[in-house]
């Protein structure tokens, strides 16, 4: 072969092989992911094998299918797959929305066992969710149930499972199950369930639970409880009513009795293992969007509502509480997991807890006292004009960082593809009551911005301890809330588009603030990803997050979408190499961003929606770093449903 032809042949051969694959660096640290939010809810990993320089080479390493969605099971109904696995030794543990618990090999994805809690779920109408499981390890060595997994179920149970065999720990409660509805009095079908992760401290497993929103004022209470990890016996209970409130008489069977209508902790708790404190983010007291009925309730159910409460993990005693919303009329639950971090101030490292909120307010509190590290101002807010309702005259606003979400939409902010839809949106913003954040619901309809999904939601924040930055995704979607007295409806028949709000004098209508074309009435982005410096209180960067690729029928066949930024569910993680990994968006991708700039460096196509929080681990010094995410979609967000747990790694 002539020399020139040989050179040309070699060049063509190299070109046909594509870009050379990066060599894997095995010199970095080894680390796991032992809890839902990793250590202290920070979602930070010290791993460095996957870097900004090689992340573009990531490829699927293995994929596991749970079989728990409507495409595989006729009885599945509406599902989501929002779990973040935890790692112990070389096994990943996670749950599905149908209350099944899985153990798979962390390097191959091969199934080890499956435990089915066998809940009654066929008649459940709401989206079925399980965000994760917790692990307890005995100090007594190996044996049956010396390592126990705890999972909440969608029919009101807390189950204990042997991590080795996947069989129920029969000594826990009744045949491995504790009924969390005990002591809650009248509980209707599907009204109470555990959707988030129990936490473990010492020999206690601690959990809150979710109570159905918008249903009735006299709903079951949101008591937080600590159970013995071995026997399932109740060790303590925090009934979220004002200090000094007389406990209710025990039930006829001798079990404790708890107040009704109180705030519940449907989201994720965090434990400070060193200090023995469990941090509880509480939601609204029932009912959302109306509140006049609370004046006539036996106790002040708003006292701990919308608060971060610090409890003694051994006793359930309240150590401190901080209320982020007074007398909530907006469904501004404390939905994000508290993150235990250090904040540097005047050269001193202060133990802090960072609490993101649906309002786009980020509160930095002293971990031991609950005192704000920077001033929080009580500012006047709009007042109700609905007879029989009342509003708090002020609400708390952080000054550092200042609010991260825009506070108001003006008529001139109206946006559309044409003059027609832009004019429609301008009229909506001008005719409804629209005085910025905390505008109360009204009879003419009130603009609710941020909306009930946030701001930040349960996806929460990730913390980089080296840069002292928080990274979070945020929704920017508005809605309209209309409240009407029930006596205004002919013959008392409330239309389907109104929620009846049982136990109140009002019904409430909820609608998204959308144009006739079904898109938000203001200029995108409608969802962002940002980094916030805790040294300066400023946004380091903010970028639109999520494209329209999977939101328009037929468009998903194209390899692109409009980068408008869309609402999301799930959250980010950070690695020490300087990467942010996040799924969450309404398009089916797992993405990696450069933490320094917010530049998107890689995206991996998922088989279904990634409405979850990823995790990462590396098992051994000669092993690969894996990034794992649940890709099963979310019925309520209308993303593609599936049942995949996918691991990504660098190629050999």
* Nearest Cα to Cα of residue 114 among 167, 74, 151, 158: 167
Q: Is there a catalytic annotation at residue 421? A: no
Distance of alpha carbon 449 from alpha carbon 438, whole angstroms: 8
What the block records as the tokens of 178 is 């504790």
* Nearest Cα to Cα of residue 292 among 389, 392, 391, 393: 389
DSSP string across 6-54: HHHHHHHHHHHT-SPPPPPP--S--B---STTSGGG--EE---SS-TTT
What the block records as the tokens of 325 is 């919303």
10 Å CB burial of residue 25 (0-12, 13-18, 19+) is: middle
Q: What are phi and psi of 103, to 5 degrees?
A: -125, 125
What the block records as the tokens of 189 is 């079908």
* Nearest Cα to Cα of residue 598 among 647, 570, 565: 565
Quickly tell me which residue has 């993303």 as its tokens.
Answer: 639
Q: What are phi and psi of 589, to 5 degrees?
A: -135, 150
**Options 162, 213, 328, 331, the catalytic residue:** 331
> What residues pair up with 79 in beta bridges, in sequence order?
128
What the block records as the tokens of 570 is 């799930």
Q: How far is CA 421 from CA 38, 477, 520, in A?
A: 45, 17, 10
Distance of alpha carbon 527 from alpha carbon 565, whole angstroms: 5
Contacting residues for 417 by C-beta, under 8 A, at least 6 apart: 515, 517, 519
Distance of alpha carbon 4 from alpha carbon 593, whole angstroms: 43
Distance of alpha carbon 525 from alpha carbon 550, whole angstroms: 16
Q: Encode 473-484: b = buried (16+ Cβ within 10 Å), e = exposed.
A: bbbbbbbbbbbb
Active site residues: 331
């Amino acid at each position: 072969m002539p020399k020139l032809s040989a050179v040309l042949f070699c060049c063509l051969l190299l070109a046909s092989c594509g870009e050379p694959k990066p060599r894997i660096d095995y010199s970095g640290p080894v680390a796991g992911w032992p809890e839902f939010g990793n250590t202290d809810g920070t979602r930070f990993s010290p791993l460095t094998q996957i870097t900004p320089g090689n992340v573009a080479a990531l490829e699927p390493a293995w994929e596991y299918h749970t079989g728990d969605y409507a495409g595989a099971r006729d009885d599945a109904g509406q599902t989501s797959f929002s779990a973040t696995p935890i790692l112990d030794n070389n096994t990943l543990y996670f749950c599905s929305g149908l209350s099944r618990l899985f153990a798979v090999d962390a390097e191959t994805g091969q199934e080890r066992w499956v435990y089915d809690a066998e809940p009654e779920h066929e008649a459940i109408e709401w989206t079925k969710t399980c965000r994760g499981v917790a692990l307890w390890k005995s100090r007594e060595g190996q044996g049956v149930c010396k390592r126990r997994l705890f999972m909440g179920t969608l029919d009101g149970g807390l189950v204990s499972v042997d991590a080795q065999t996947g069989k129920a720990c029969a000594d826990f409660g009744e045949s491995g199950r504790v009924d969390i509805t005990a002591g809650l009095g009248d509980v209707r079908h599907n009204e109470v369930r555990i959707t988030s992760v129990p936490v473990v401290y010492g020999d206690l497993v601690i959990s809150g639970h979710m109570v159905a929103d918008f249903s009735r004022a006299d709903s079951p209470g949101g008591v937080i409880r600590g159970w013995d990890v071995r026997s399932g016996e109740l060790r303590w209970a925090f009934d979220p009513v004002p200090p000094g409130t007389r406990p209710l008489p025990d039930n006829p069977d001798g079990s404790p009795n708890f107040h009704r209508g109180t705030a519940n902790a449907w989201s994720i708790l965090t434990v400070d293992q060193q200090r023995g404190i469990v941090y509880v983010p509480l939601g609204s007291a029932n009912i959302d969007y109306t509140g006049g009925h609370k004046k006539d309730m036996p106790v002040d159910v708003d006292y701990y509502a919308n608060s971060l409460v610090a409890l003694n993990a051994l006793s359930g005693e309240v150590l401190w509480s901080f209320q982020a919303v007074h007398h909530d009329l907006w469904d501004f639950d404390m939905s994000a997991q508290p993150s235990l971090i250090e904040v540097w101030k005047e050269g001193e490292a202060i133990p802090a807890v960072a609490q993101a909120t649906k309002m786009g307010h980020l509160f930095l509190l002293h971990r031991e006292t609950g005192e704000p590290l920077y001033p929080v101002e009580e500012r006047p807010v709009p007042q109700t004009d609905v007879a029989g309702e009342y509003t708090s005259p002020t609400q708390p606003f952080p000054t550092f960082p200042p609010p991260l979400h825009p506070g108001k939409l003006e008529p001139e902010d109206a946006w559309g593809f044409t003059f027609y839809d832009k004019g429609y949106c301008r009229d909506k913003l001008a005719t409804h009551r629209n005085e910025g954040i905390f505008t109360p619901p009204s009879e003419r309809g009130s603009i609710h911005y941020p909306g009930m999904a946030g701001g930040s939601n349960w996806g929460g924040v990730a913390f980089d301890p080296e840069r002292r930055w928080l990274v979070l995704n945020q929704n920017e979607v508005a809605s309209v809330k209309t409240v009407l007295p029930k006596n205004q409806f002919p013959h008392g028949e409330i239309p389907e588009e109104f929620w009846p709000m049982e136990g109140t004098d009002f019904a409430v209508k909820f609608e998204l603030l959308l144009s006739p074309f079904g898109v938000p009435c203001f200029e995108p982005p409608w969802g962002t990803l940002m980094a916030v410096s805790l040294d300066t209180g400023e946004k380091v960067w903010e970028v639109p997050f999520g494209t329209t690729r999977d939101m328009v029928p037929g468009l998903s066949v194209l390899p692109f979408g409009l980068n408008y930024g869309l609402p999301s569910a799930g959250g980010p993680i950070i690695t020490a190499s300087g990467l942010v990994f996040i799924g969450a968006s309404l398009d089916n991708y797992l993405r990696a961003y450069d933490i320094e700039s917010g530049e998107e460096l890689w995206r991996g196509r998922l088989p279904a929606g990634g409405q979850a929080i990823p995790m990462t681990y590396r098992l051994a010094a000669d092993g690969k770093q894996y990034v794992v995410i649940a890709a099963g979609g979310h019925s309520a967000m209308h993303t593609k449903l599936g049942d995949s747990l996918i691991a990504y790694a660098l190629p050999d």
